[in-house]
Amino acid sequence: MKKNNIFIYLCLFCLLYLIAEQADKIKSLEARRPEIIYKVDNAGSGLAGIVTGKEFDGNRYSITVSGYGKFLVNKEQYDRAIIGKGWQHE
């Protein structure tokens, strides 16, 4: 009977630990500010604006264009974009 009680208490402890861990993960995910990133794929749209920021996160290039937001771009577009200068999507 004691072995069964120990097993039940151990299972309950593990369950409570997993619930607490999930609660912490949910809190951290809710605390993050979501970002909307657009992909430039609308050819001929005439998108133009001022580049206000550039970011590279290790595998994705993005630029921020005033009035439009953040866009995923390829390396050529990233290298061509200059902060404070005009940018037009070809």
Q: How many domains does the chain have?
A: 2
Q: Which domain holds residue 9?
A: 1-34
What confidence score (pLDDT) does residue 20 get? 95
- Both 28 and 56 in a single domain? no
Q: What angle do CA 78, 86, 55 make, to 5 degrees?
A: 30
Indicate whether 41 and 84 sit together in one domain: yes
Tell me the whole-structure pTM to 2 decimals. Answer: 0.49
Same domain for 82 and 69, yes or no, is: yes
Same domain? For 45 and 25 the reply is: no
Task: Let me know whether 30 and 44 are in one domain.
Answer: no
Residue 40 confidence (pLDDT): 60
Sign of the torsion formed by the C-alpha atoms of 39, 51, 90 and 61: negative
User: Same domain, yes or no, for 25 and 51?
Assistant: no
Do both 83 and 50 map to the same domain? Answer: yes
What are the tens digits of pLDDT across the range 7-23?
899 999 999 999 999 99
Instruction: Tell me the per-residue pLDDT of 41-81, one tens digit each, with 9 for 90 and over.
Output: 655 566 677 888 999 888 889 888 887 888 888 888 888 88
